[in-house]
């Protein structure tokens, strides 16, 4: 039985911000219309993440994701979302050059997908850009800690914020985004104590992914939590299903029946007088 609260209207960035310290915010990614419809029934936030490059396109990182890819998948997800707040990631290279570039691309994402907010990575060095966007009507979700678009400078997908200096730096990053007007911030791959500290110190909701249970909400890549990839098991992901194994078994059964001429049967075939 779902614990999803009844909703009278669609959630927006303001509703998410108002959840600070209240009921935990539930967030999952989605990249297609069918998945968006499933996720929308149970989540407060639906994120069209640039993880789409790795999950759907087989890229080795998010670096190669383009604006066109984000728009295409954002449009697909928008067709399946009617209740949750929809956020689309700004891809690598679409906002780092300056606030004017960020505004042009963020405005394009919102106009062409119908999303209610954008997400971008980075801390204090992005605060001016976040403020510029918010002042011009573009709600922004921040992202600190492990920022996958910076994986080449971070030296891999490592836990961030271990040690006092690094912890203080990330905490200041999150605070800068909150002060700049972000409505929430993703905390990725941090020690639980740091996730708890940041959650207590800043005025906007924290959405954790590998940052501990004390965050104001949680997000996972939907394909990970459904177990669609047998060989990918990050520590911070709990598998709520093993759909990859079930799909593999179903495809194997289909292939075996085709090779044995056991499918299609008369039940799945048409005769001279059978209706279409």
Q: Total domain count for the chain?
A: 1
Tell me if 37 is assigned to some domain: yes
Here the CATH number for the domain that contains residue 66 is: 3.20.20.60
Q: Is 179 annotated as a binding residue?
A: no
Tell me if 257 is assigned to some domain: no
Using CA atoms in the order 37, 41, 43, 46, what is the torsion angle rounded to 10 degrees?
Answer: 20
Q: What band does 6 get if pLDDT is binned at 50, 70 and 90?
A: low
| Domain limits for position 173 | 13-242
Q: Look at 22-36, 114-128, 261-275 and tell me which has the smallest mean pLDDT.
A: 261-275
pLDDT tens-digit map of 54-100: 999 999 999 999 999 999 999 999 999 999 999 999 999 999 999 99
Structure tokens at 232: 């990918």
Q: Is 89 annotated as a binding residue?
A: yes
Tell me if 255 is assigned to some domain: no
Contact 85, 139 (CB under 8 A): no
Task: Tell me, yes or no, if 128 is annotated catalytic.
Answer: no
Measure the CA angle with vertex 82, ends 79 and 86; round to 5°.
80
Q: Is 20 annotated as a binding residue?
A: no
Tell me if 247 is assigned to some domain: no
Tell me if 194 is assigned to some domain: yes
Catalytic residue from among 188, 201, 242, 257: 188
Q: What band does 1 get if pLDDT is binned at 50, 70 and 90?
A: very low
What was the pLDDT predicted at 171?
Answer: 98
Tell me if 266 is assigned to some domain: no
Tell me if 251 is assigned to some domain: no
Tell me if 203 is assigned to some domain: yes
Q: What band does 273 get if pLDDT is binned at 50, 70 and 90?
A: confident
């Amino acid at each position: 039985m779902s614990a999803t609260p009844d909703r009278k209207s669609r959630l927006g960035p303001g509703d998410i911000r108002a959840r600070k310290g209240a009921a935990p915010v539930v967030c999952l990614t989605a990249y297609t219309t069918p998945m968006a419809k499933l996720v929308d029934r149970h989540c407060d936030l639906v994120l069209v993440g640039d993880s789409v490059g790795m999950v759907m396109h087989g890229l080795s990182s998010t670096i190669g994701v383009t604006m066109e890819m984000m728009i295409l998948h954002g449009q697909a997800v928008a067709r399946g979302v009617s209740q949750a707040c929809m956020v689309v990631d700004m891809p690598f290279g679409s906002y780092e050059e300056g606030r004017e570039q960020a505004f042009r691309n963020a405005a394009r994402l919102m106009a062409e997908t119908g999303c209610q907010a954008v997400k971008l990575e980075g801390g204090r060095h992005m605060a001016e850009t976040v403020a510029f966007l918010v002042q011009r009507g573009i709600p922004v979700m921040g992202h600190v800690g492990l920022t996958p678009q910076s994986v080449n400078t971070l030296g891999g997908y490592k836990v961030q914020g271990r040690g006092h200096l690094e912890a203080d730096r990330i905490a200041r990053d999150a605070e800068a985004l909150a002060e700049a007007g972000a409505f929430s911030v993703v905390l990725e791959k941090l020690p639980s104590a740091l996730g708890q500290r940041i959650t207590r110190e800043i005025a906007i909701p924290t959405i954790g992914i590998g940052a501990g249970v004390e965050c104001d909400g949680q997000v996972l890549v939907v394909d990970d939590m459904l177990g669609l990839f047998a060989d990918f098991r990050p520590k911070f992901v709990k598998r709520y299903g093993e759909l990859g194994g079930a799909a593999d078994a179903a495809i194997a059964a289909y292939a075996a029946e085709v090779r044995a001429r056991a499918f299609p049967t008369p039940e799945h075939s048409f005769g001279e007088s059978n209706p279409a």
